Amino acid sequence: MDPALDTPATVHGVDLRAAAFEFSVEPTLLIDPYADQIVDANPAACTLLGYDRALLRQTRVTTLHAGQVPELTVFTQAVLHKGAYWTIALTPRHATGQDLRLEYAGCVVSHEGRTLVLLTLTDLEARRRRNVDAAAEDHMRGGIATWQRVERVFQDIERENQLILRAAGEGIYGVNAEGKTTFVNPAAERMLGWTAEELVGKEIHPIVHHTHHDGRHYHDHDCPIYAAFRDGAVHQVDGEVFWRKDGSPAWVEYTSTPIREGGVVVGAVVVFRDVSQRREADEKLHAALAEVDRLRERLELENAYLQEEIRIETNPRGIIGQSEAIQKTLRQVKLVAPATAAVMITGESGTGKELIARAIHEASGRSDRPLIRVNCAAIPRELFESEFFGHVRGAFTGAMRDRIGRFELADGGTLFLDEVGEIPLELQGKLLRVLQEGNFERVGQERTRTVDVRLIAATNRDLKQEVLRGRFREDLYFRLNVFPIESVPLRERREDIPLLAQHFLTSESKALKSNLRLSEGDARRLMRYDWPGNVRELQNVIERAAILAQNGRLRIDLPDASGVQLTQGAARQKVDARPAVMTAAEMRDHERTNILAALDACAGKVFGPGGAAEMLDIKPTTLASRIKTLGLTPRSRASLNA
């Protein structure tokens, strides 16, 4: 046994309390209810239970009372609450496997900061035999007075049981073998909204357990509560609902424990707790985690898309040029950017339609969200719907995982449909629906999703003719063509060619770590060419010229009218063979335009590396003299630096 619980009383060195525990004729256990531990057992308890002392010290209290955890919990709580209590509801199992009918009397003792319970066990069968003999003797001696005393004893027992039920924090109710309610504690009344009078004597399953949480009927033969008194086993259940009186569900976890009398199951006791708040918190957590996963997937896709855009993008982000055509385009961009109307950009390939779309997006209120570009000409016909709207796993062969479509990716931002005339006719109706209603479904999924997307379309086709030929829906054409913008070809804004060429050359010079210059002759040669490939062709020509450059001089190769590529020397011979004749006034105007273009390209710098004189391949003093002779504006002269 453990050391004495207080200062021990001793006689001739003998601990009287330890001796009283050791030699008591009453079987006694010392248990720790919080650690679920049998601290010690006297020899009488070992004899009653059929275990040796060492084994009992290693046995948990709940193991000794298998299947009776709710009853054991109620009893120990009553002892701890009242200081002392007793019960006959517990039936520990003998070492031979036989259930023992005992009376437990418990009291609280304190030892070195631990709160322990001292249990005295009484064999009820032995007591019954003694009581029968005593009752017969009392009956003979006392008559009716003795029976009245016995009745009062049982009334006290019932009153104590009611106190336990009322004190319990969990909901507790009992059912008999017919499924009818025998008792309901106050906690169960509060949780369910039904009073004990409304439930006792009635079948409880049709009242509080008749339906699953999803609306399916709950048959009583499937009910784990009723199963407890049918199969005699303890049933622990989580994730079901009890229905309150007001019709609302209460998520519960419960234990249904069978009640035996004379070895026969006569009913069950149900101990339950309301876990609705915990379940609601779990559902919110799961929803938050799912939203985090969705946003993470979306950000990953956006990042992958933007990385792809960085790799394939070749045009500069800004619109370069001083021509009237470019100024008109910039005015249109400024007008339409704040609106949400759809924009249709038309023009030849390579004229910078995507640059216009980016300028609109960056000047709009959606600039903090991405501009998602879709090259409709590069998407296989059978993948258009998946590319636009996304798909779920297993929607078609090869769909190994869920995929977000471009519309969903552009939610809150701008979607740029390049070469919109390439969209298949059968998909144009679905595209029109998204533009009108803002709703769509992923391929293979019925869930409708809502998006807020600003649409900009571009095409090099004549969509009016496509409508007349039946290859493009008229209603979709009018839905896209709310605000048309024309991207002017390069041959119609030749004065922008030197600026564009110098911009591309500067980029190539940085990449090649060289100091390349665009001469006046180079600029004149570039301005005479019609550029059927527009800005994209000009960029390619400058890139090739930078690669072929020797001794800091460009080698510009341009095709002739028949499409044959000419070297710079061959082009010079052809020009020399058929010289272009200009008047003196034309030559002055041309020189004036060329000098201004060089000054703008060099930010007004004349002298030094990177200056306009170096670009034009003339002396700085000569250039300064020509600027004065040509009567350039004071603004231009003020920009000169010595």
- Check whether residue 352 and residue 445 sit in a common domain: yes
Question: Mean pLDDT, to the nearest integer, of 87-105?
Answer: 88
Average pLDDT rounded to a whole number, residues 39-58: 90
Answer with the one of 488, 508, 524 that is the final residue of a domain: 488
Least confident of 65-74, 132-141, 360-369, 567-576: 567-576
Q: Show the domain range for 60.
A: 10-133
Residue 364 confidence (pLDDT): 93
Return the higher-pLDDT residue of 512 and 64.
64
DSSP secondary structure of 503-542: HHHHHHHHHHT---B--HHHHHHHHHS--TTHHHHHHHHH
Q: What percent of the chain has pLDDT over 90?
A: 21
| 249 touches 242 (CB < 8 A) | yes
Q: Are residues 565 and 590 in the same domain?
A: no
Specify the residue for token string 């010289």: 579
pLDDT given for residue 571 in this prediction: 44
Which pairing describes strands 114-123 and 28-32: parallel, antiparallel, or unpaired? antiparallel
Provide φ and ψ at 229, rounded to 5°.
-95, 5
Burial status of residue 77 (CB atoms within 10 A of its CB: 0-12, 13-18, 19 or more) = middle
- Residue 640 near residue 624, CB atoms below 8 Å: yes
Is 5 domain-assigned?
Answer: no
420 contacts 375 by C-beta, under 8 angstroms: no
Query: Which of the residue ranges 8-12, 70-74, 133-137 has the most confident prediction, judged by mean pLDDT?
Result: 70-74
Q: Are residues 123 and 36 in the same domain?
A: yes
The enclosing domain of 48 has a CATH number of: 3.30.450.20
pLDDT in tens, 113-147: 889 999 999 988 888 888 777 766 665 555 555 44
User: Is residue 474 domain-shared with residue 496, that is, in the same domain?
Assistant: no
Written as one string, the DSSP assignment of 409-467 is HTTTSEEEEETGGGS-HHHHHHHHHHHHH-EEE-BT---EEE---EEEEEESS-HHHHH
User: At residue 214, what are phi and psi to the nearest 5 degrees?
Assistant: -90, 10
CB 49 within 8 Å of CB 27: yes
Q: Please give the average per-residue pLDDT across 362-368, as a whole number.
A: 91
461 located within any domain: yes
Is the pLDDT score of 580 beyond 50?
Answer: yes
pLDDT in tens, 409-421: 889 999 999 999 9
What pLDDT, on a 0 to 100 scale, did the predictor assign at position 313? Answer: 44
Report how far residue 637's alpha carbon sits from residue 573's, in angstroms, rounded to the nearest whole number. Answer: 37
Between 412 and 620, the more confident residue is 412
Kindly state whether residues 123 and 212 are assigned to the same domain: no
Give a yes or no: residue 115 inside a domain. Answer: yes
Q: What are phi and psi of 396, to 5 degrees?
A: -160, 170
Picking from 203, 156, 165, 205, the residue whose alpha carbon sits closest to that of residue 184 is 165
301 in a domain, yes or no? no
- Give pLDDT tens digits for 392-405: 887 787 777 778 88
Q: From CA 318, how far away is CA 325, in angstroms rounded?
A: 15
pLDDT at 154 over 90: no
Same domain, 330 and 454: yes
Query: Do 58 and 190 fall within a single domain?
Result: no
- The CATH number linked to 405 is 3.40.50.300
User: Distance between CA atoms of 267 and 255, rounded to whole angstroms?
Assistant: 13
| pLDDT category of residue 228 using cuts at 50, 70 and 90 | confident
Within 10 Å of residue 180's Cβ, how many Cβ atoms? Answer: 16
CA dihedral 468, 471, 472, 473 (to 10 degrees): 80
Domain count, the chain: 5
Separation CA 611–CA 604 (nearest Å): 8
Q: Which of 195-209, 271-285, 487-501, 621-635 has the lowest mean pLDDT?
A: 621-635
| DSSP string across 235-298 | EEEEEEEEEPTTS-EEEEEEEEEEEEETTEEEEEEEEEEE-HHHHHHHHHHHHHHHHHHHHHHH
Tokens of 222: 């499937």
Q: Which class for 264: exposed (0-12), middle (13-18), buried (19 or more C-beta within 10 A)?
A: exposed
Residues 425 and 509 in one domain: no
Grouping H, G, I as helix, E, B as strand and the rest as coil, residue 87 is strand
Residues 593 and 639 in one domain: yes
CATH number, position 520:
1.10.8.60
Q: Alpha helix (H) ranges present in 482-616?
A: 497-512, 520-528, 534-548, 568-577, 584-601, 612-616
Residue type, 257: T
CA atoms within 13 A on the CB side of 336: 25
Domain identity same for 507 and 634: no
Q: Could you tell me if residue 99 is inside a domain?
A: yes
What confidence score (pLDDT) does residue 254 get?
92
pLDDT given for residue 161 in this prediction: 53
The pLDDT score that the predictor gives to residue 359 is 92
The candidate with the shortest Cα–Cα distance to 596, out of 563, 623, 566, 617, is: 623
Q: Are residues 181 and 103 in the same domain?
A: no
Examine the fold and report which residue of 222, 246, 274 is the final residue of a domain before the chain moves on.
274
Q: Does any domain span residue 288?
A: no
Q: Determine the Cα–Cα distance for residues 536 and 548; give it in Å rounded to an integer.
A: 19
**Minimum mean pLDDT range among 329-343, 466-480, 497-511:** 497-511
Clarify whether residues 545 and 613 are in a common domain: no
Whether the per-residue pLDDT at 574 is higher than 60: the answer is no
Polymer length in residues for the chain? 642
> How far is the C-alpha of 335 from the C-alpha of 357, rounded, in Å?
13
Domain boundary among 578, 595, 626: 578
| Residue 95 counted as domain residue | yes
User: Does the structure show a pLDDT above 90 at 482?
Assistant: yes
How far is 588 from 367, CA to CA, in rounded Å?
Answer: 45
Within-domain flag for 422: yes
pLDDT (mean) for 140-164: 51
User: In this model, does residue 93 exceed pLDDT 50?
Assistant: yes
In whole angstroms, give the CA distance from residue 5 to residue 118: 11
Long-range contacts of 276-285 (CB under 8 A, 24+ apart): 276/249, 276/250, 276/251, 279/251
* pLDDT for residue 468 is more than 70: yes
Q: Would the pLDDT of 30 be above 50?
A: yes
Averaged pLDDT for residues 324-346 = 93
